[in-house]
């Protein structure tokens, strides 16, 4: 997914942590009830997208 950035919709995310289990880069974490992606680690493979039961993870174009 070149040129894509994986983003979490904070309005939809329930911080279930399902995405954390599948991320091979260990790029996702929950802190104070908010799930976030460490973009230094994320390689935009998109594995976390289908793992989210809420459908809160999507991609946006990035330069
Ligand atoms: S896109 Fe891949 S590397 Fe990035 S947070 Fe999701 S599972 Fe982890």
Across 12-38, b (16+ Cβ under 10 Å) vs e yields: ebebeebbbeebeeebbeeeeeebebe
**19 Cα nearest atom in ligand 1:** 7
3-state secondary structure of 50: helix
Is residue 56 lining ligand 1, measured as CB closer than 6 Å? Answer: no
| Nearest protein CA to atom 7 of ligand 1, as residue | 23
**Model pLDDT, residue 63:** 77
**Model pLDDT, residue 54:** 98
Per-residue pLDDT for the chain (63 aa), expressed as one digit of tens each?
569 999 999 999 999 999 999 999 999 999 999 999 999 999 999 999 999 999 999 999 987
What's the pTM value of the predicted model, to 2 decimals?
0.90
**Model pLDDT, residue 48:** 98
3-state secondary structure of 40: coil
| Nearest protein CA to atom 2 of ligand 1, as residue | 45
**Model pLDDT, residue 30:** 96
**Phi and psi torsions of 17, nearest 5°:** 80, 5
Q: Output the CA 37–ligand 1 centroid distance in Å.
A: 8
Domains belonging to the chain, first-starting first, are 4-61 (3.30.70.20)
């Amino acid at each position: 997914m070149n040129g894509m950035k994986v983003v979490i919709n904070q309005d939809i995310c329930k911080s279930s942590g399902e995405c954390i289990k599948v991320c091979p880069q260990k790029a996702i974490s929950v802190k104070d009830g908010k799930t976030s992606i460490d973009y230094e680690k994320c390689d935009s493979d998109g594995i976390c997208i289908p793992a989210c039961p809420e459908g809160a993870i999507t991609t946006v174009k990035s330069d």
